[in-house]
Structure 1
Amino acid sequence: MSTLNPFVSIRRDLHKIPELGFQEFKTQRYILDYVGGLPQEHLEVETWKTAVFVRVKGKNPSKTIGYRADMDGLPILEETSLPFSSEHPEQMHACGHDIHMSIALGVLTRFAEEPAADNILFIFQPAEEGPGGAAPLMNTDTMQKWKPDMIVALHIAPEYPVGTIAIKEGLLFANTSELFIDLKGKGGHAAYPHLTNDMVIAACSLVGQLQTVVSRNVDPLDSAVITIGKITGGTVQNIIAENARLEGTIRTLSVDSMKKVKQRVKELIKGVEIGYQCEASIDFGCMYHEVNNESTLTREFMEFAARQEGITVFECSEQMTGEDFGFMLNEIPGFMFWLGANSEFGLHHSKINPDESAIETAINLLIPYLRYKGE
């Protein structure tokens, strides 16, 4: 490694090799190789698909504390011009999972050398960005065998300065669902539109109608959002499109609102089928459970963090972001927090460049906290 902080160097290594969900083969190999170089006396390692579980056996265990780091990248062409930019075409760690993993390895290193009284389970989880790794991982034999009594995770927050921990009790992140809509009509020559059923027109109309769902079907005191992030249709400029596809996401702060929004989306699509004489199909893809922080553990962590040098604790509001860590919190008490990373560009942006000093900040906070919880 270089003269850099070793975990910054690890982050840069991982940043070069972003991989999509359940394709994190190089990333898994990197983690396994690194863990293999640590003192092995207290370590147990197991894998599932591209996931890595590392259990640090406690000196006198009565419980297990879980710590989760996500592994996958995003299908984004990196535009940072960093010397350690992605080497994988149109894939990028644009959500900070490279930083999440390097922090986890930093904390793991200390406990491999100096175990706590209790067991600590480090979970390197694939496919957080999709199709969703947490839910199936919870059902693995390894997770059932080593299931933690509490669990913790973090996510970088580009909008906060380094040293800021943003967190709240209860609901932190929204329920999220993917949305895929396919329309099939009748194509034809651009000069004879009356002989066709144009799916570009149908798709455009549907996008406008979908934007009425939140404004007219969701309680104004509740929160929801429907975003269509991608539209494809047609083949060439002088042929009326026979097919169109809309891809998007739905986010709500309650499960009940998610059900209502999905029902209304289905009703609007039925109307489009009739109005534009087409066939439509809908797929809600995978849904992520809301992230709910357990109140007692969260409040205790906030008080602990506030006593640490260089840390500012900020009680934030809930966000419409989604995180499949919610599936873990649905079964195991724990919490997630935002880690300030001070980047001009935000999450999922091709130019995001988090401040790497956040890595040391997080490691120096989590080691004493997990030791405190594990003694």
Structure 2
Amino acid sequence: MAKTDYIQIRRELHQIPELGFQEYKTQAYLLNYIRSLPSDRIEIKQWKTGIFVKVLGRKPVRLIGYRADIDGLPIKEETGLPFSSNHEKEMHACGHDFHMTIALGVLTNIVENPIDDDMLFVFQPAEEGPGGAEPMLKSEIMQEWKPDIIIALHVAPEYPVGTIAVKPGLLFANTSELFIDLKGKGGHAAYPHQTNDMVVAACNLVAQLQTIVSRNIDPLDSAVVTIGKITGGTVQNVIAETARLEGTMRTLSAESMTKVKDRVKALVKGIEAGYECECTIDFGSGYYQVYNEEAITAEFMNFIRSETNIELIECKEAMTGEDFGYMLKEIPGFMFWLGVNSPYGLHHSKLNPDEEALETAINMITSYLQFKGNKE
């Protein structure tokens, strides 16, 4: 298949971004393409809005997994591209259109030039939320077709085309959402002594939450507690009866995430006592750390250095989150960054990855799978 064909596929997928577990057009598009491939070596199973595709090898010993996420984000696109999103306020602002296209390209190559081992291509919904990797992993299909190793990539706007970045061990952080609702007693601004002001309580809680990292986490560890949104009150001369904090938490260890959550609970109890109010905490969805299995990742890095012209960067761990971590928790494997050279970062309304990276990734991953899947 020519490079122009993959570019066209990416552009068509870019136009139909859909939110988690709503990827109906995307699933139909992917199935239409997959079913156009020679069927003698392919088994296809649907799971919610996701897809499993098993490609039978010539003399399989293992099952090698490759995962691509398929959902978009609730972001209004501002790229001005002729193939911009057709869905208002939804966009492939995290490169999942690239991820799907690359997976289709690799799938095509493996079907046309089968390797010894079997392969499982996992087209996963809802990576951006509420999280599709963990329930997909627990599904009967994936328990039956559980890979021996699994790999995935993520586009990286900050790296040039022709580079990948990876490291053994921890790559992405543990993450958790944070929602806190406070309810006190509202009233007229002229009579504050008759009220319990939730704007004041919320502001004090935000300040206290910022002490968790500086005073409860080992200085040699890393964590982030961010409150990104505060809402409260109704009008300027009424003391607020309610307030709401929305934020995110990230840590480089599962143990630190537990400690952060425990401290949030303790501080909220203090606010309840101090401001005579009621509070509820919702940690929302959260993702387990992405931990690259050392031996498999090192083998991959050596392959890139010795068998390709791609520049390999051994990167540092990042505070980004990815639900692929749940799969790596049970299946050895790795994730790596793919350089796509964009001035705008992930989740930005103007993100436009360089399409030259598509062919680079398809050829490189195919070569690695041929090396890995044909190795005795």
TM-score, scaled relative to structure 2: 0.96
**Mapping of 1:156-235 within 5 angstroms?**
156-235=155-234
Q: Deviations over 1:171-196 (max 9, x none)?
A: 11111111111111122333433332
1:41, distance to aligned residue in structure 2 (A): 1.2
Where does residue 45 of structure 2 map in the other structure?
A: 46
- 1:187/1:239 contact within 8 Å kept: yes
Alpha-carbon distance in structure 2 between the residues aligned to 1:42 and 1:4: 24
Where does residue 278 of structure 1 map in the other structure?
A: 277
Q: Deviations over 1:122-171 (max 9, x none)?
A: 00001111111111111111101111110000001111111111000111
**Mapping of 1:65-80 within 5 angstroms?**
65-80=64-79
Q: Does 1:265 align with 2:269?
A: no
Alpha-carbon distance in structure 2 between the residues aligned to 1:146 and 1:341: 32
Q: What secondary structure, in the 3-state scheme, does the structure 1 residue paired with 2:228 have? A: strand
Where does residue 56 of structure 2 map in the other structure?
A: 57
Q: Does 1:132 align with 2:136?
A: no
Where does residue 121 of structure 2 map in the other structure?
A: 122
Q: What secondary structure, in the 3-state scheme, does the structure 2 residue paired with 1:361 have? A: helix
Where does residue 329 of structure 2 map in the other structure?
A: 330
Between 1:151-160 and 1:243-252, the stretch displaced more is 243-252
Q: In the alignment, residue 194 of structure 1 is paired with which amino acid?
A: H
Q: Provide closer, same or farther for how the CA distance between residues 91 and 237 of structure 1 changes in structure 2, counting only shifts above 3 A.
A: farther
Alpha-carbon distance in structure 1 between the residues aligned to 2:326 and 2:120: 17
Alpha-carbon distance in structure 2 between the residues aligned to 1:47 and 1:228: 38
- 1:308/1:365 contact within 8 Å kept: no
Q: In the alignment, residue 208 of structure 2 is paired with which amino acid?
A: Q
1:235, distance to aligned residue in structure 2 (A): 2.9
Alpha-carbon distance in structure 2 between the residues aligned to 1:89 and 1:192: 45
Structure 1: unaligned runs, 5 residues or longer: none
Q: Deviations over 1:247-266 (max 9, x none)?
A: 11111111111111111111
Where does residue 240 of structure 2 map in the other structure?
A: 241
**Mapping of 1:286-305 within 5 angstroms?**
286-305=285-304
Q: In the alignment, residue 363 of structure 1 is paired with which amino acid?
A: I
Q: In the alignment, residue 94 of structure 1 is paired with which amino acid?
A: A
1:308, distance to aligned residue in structure 2 (A): 4.1
Q: What secondary structure, in the 3-state scheme, does the structure 2 residue paired with 1:301 have? A: helix
- 2:149/2:333 contact within 8 Å kept: yes
Where does residue 33 of structure 2 map in the other structure?
A: 34
Q: In the alignment, residue 79 of structure 1 is paired with which amino acid?
A: E
1:309, distance to aligned residue in structure 2 (A): 4.1
Q: In the alignment, residue 358 of structure 2 is paired with which amino acid?
A: I
Where does residue 318 of structure 2 map in the other structure?
A: 319
Q: What secondary structure, in the 3-state scheme, does the structure 2 residue paired with 1:129 have? A: coil
Q: Provide closer, same or farther for how the CA distance between residues 236 and 27 of structure 1 changes in structure 2, counting only shifts above 3 A.
A: farther
Alpha-carbon distance in structure 1 between the residues aligned to 2:87 and 2:76: 9
1:4, distance to aligned residue in structure 2 (A): 6.4
1:87, distance to aligned residue in structure 2 (A): 1.6
Q: What secondary structure, in the 3-state scheme, does the structure 2 residue paired with 1:5 have? A: helix
Q: What secondary structure, in the 3-state scheme, does the structure 2 residue paired with 1:344 have? A: coil
Alpha-carbon distance in structure 2 between the residues aligned to 1:80 and 1:201: 40
Q: What secondary structure, in the 3-state scheme, does the structure 1 residue paired with 2:210 have? A: helix
| Aligned Cα root-mean-square deviation (Å) | 1.5
Where does residue 100 of structure 1 map in the other structure?
A: 99
1:349, distance to aligned residue in structure 2 (A): 1.3
Residue identity (%): 68
Where does residue 110 of structure 1 map in the other structure?
A: 109
Between 1:271-280 and 1:151-160, the stretch displaced more is 271-280
1:347, distance to aligned residue in structure 2 (A): 0.9
TM-score, scaled relative to structure 1: 0.96
Alpha-carbon distance in structure 2 between the residues aligned to 1:6 and 1:229: 41
- 2:308/2:364 contact within 8 Å kept: no
Q: How many residue pairs were aligned?
A: 374
Between 1:3-12 and 1:355-364, the stretch displaced more is 3-12
Alpha-carbon distance in structure 2 between the residues aligned to 1:235 and 1:6: 54
Where does residue 371 of structure 2 map in the other structure?
A: 372
Alpha-carbon distance in structure 2 between the residues aligned to 1:216 and 1:171: 24
1:338, distance to aligned residue in structure 2 (A): 0.5
Alpha-carbon distance in structure 1 between the residues aligned to 2:140 and 2:31: 19
Structure 2: unaligned runs, 5 residues or longer: none
Q: What secondary structure, in the 3-state scheme, does the structure 2 residue paired with 1:13 have? A: helix
Q: In the alignment, residue 283 of structure 2 is paired with which amino acid?
A: F
Q: What secondary structure, in the 3-state scheme, does the structure 2 residue paired with 1:307 have? A: helix
1:232, distance to aligned residue in structure 2 (A): 2.1
- 1:211/1:226 contact within 8 Å kept: yes
Where does residue 13 of structure 1 map in the other structure?
A: 12
Alpha-carbon distance in structure 1 between the residues aligned to 2:196 and 2:9: 54
Q: What secondary structure, in the 3-state scheme, does the structure 1 residue paired with 2:338 have? A: strand
- 2:53/2:121 contact within 8 Å kept: yes
Between 1:81-90 and 1:165-174, the stretch displaced more is 81-90
